[in-house]
Amino acid sequence: MGTMTVMVTRVYANGNMWIEGQKLLSVSQGEEYVRVSGLVRPDDIGPGNSVNSNRIAQANVTYTGAGDIANATKQGWYGQAVNVLSPL
């Protein structure tokens, strides 16, 4: 289990909040980022001003990286060409 800090970037008239944040993870072969955004209700904010991820509506979680690990997972030119010609 991990935690990350987010910021409230918008407060709606009904009190709901749009949150956004990112966390940098440094690994031996590069850097990886976890980004999260979504809608949080005031009732879902718990002790310590925290929110469980399963309480974030319209959650958008992305994971990107740079370095050897990220490069190793990228599809090569042949695989990209096959996907363009036959996307199924």
Q: What is the pLDDT of residue 75?
A: 65
Q: Three-state DSSP class for 49?
A: helix
pLDDT above 80 for 56: yes
Q: What is the pLDDT of residue 83?
A: 64
Q: In whole angstroms, what is the distance from residue 33 CA to residue 47 CA?
A: 26
Q: What is the pLDDT of residue 80?
A: 65
Closest to 6 in 3D by CA, of 47, 43, 29, 39: 39
Bridge partners (DSSP) listed for residue 61:
36
Tally the C-alpha atoms within 13 A of residue 68's C-alpha that lie toward its C-beta.
Answer: 4
Q: What is the pLDDT of residue 25?
A: 84
* Residue owning tokens 């990286």: 65
Mean pLDDT of 16-39: 89
